[in-house]
Amino acid sequence: MRIAFLTAPVGVEEIELTAPWKAAEENGWVPQLVSTGPGRVQAFRHFDKAGTYPVDHVLAGDTSDAFDALVLPGGVANPDALRMNARAVGFVRSFFEAGKPVAAICHAPWTLVEADVVRGRTLTSWPSLATDIRNAGGTWVDEEVQVCHAAPATLVTSRKPADLDAFCTVFGREFADSQRSSAARP
């Protein structure tokens, strides 16, 4: 299973990238760092610079075709930049249109709001996004992890870095279920 990890060139919360990445590898999947620009992405620990990570794939009108699932790490600047990039928004939307599972943590649902994929869904996020999610037609809940199986795609969301253990466990289970379902289809 190939998992796209979509980030902007600057501003991803490091632990929200590295912990899910490690979980994907532990499940035997192939994580790929997808960004809107080439080179390396600059991660942060809150407002302090952290490590940099090599980009595996630069968006250029891509859809979800090359990937089986999507993870959207947070950080404040990361999803704010992604939601202003039409290629990134279209890429996110394509996973929902294809019925592929998506996981998003912290501020990452801002990109989901921009992609217009939260309408009729229940999700969680960093609390400051609650009004944005409601205004976009979603239902916001204050839960460690929220799974929404609304058609056509499963969405797993979490609030913050403290929820990462649960987030990684649940998205791992949901992505594996999706993989089994896809393999069982004729």
Give the active site residues: 106-107
Q: Give me 42's structure tokens.
A: 């600059």
Distance CA 115, CA 89 (A): 5
Distance CA 163, CA 184 (A): 32
| Close Cβ partners of 96 (under 8 Å, ≥ 6 residues apart) | 102, 115, 117, 152, 153
Distance CA 10, CA 20 (A): 18
What type of residue sits at position 42? Q
Distance CA 74, CA 55 (A): 17
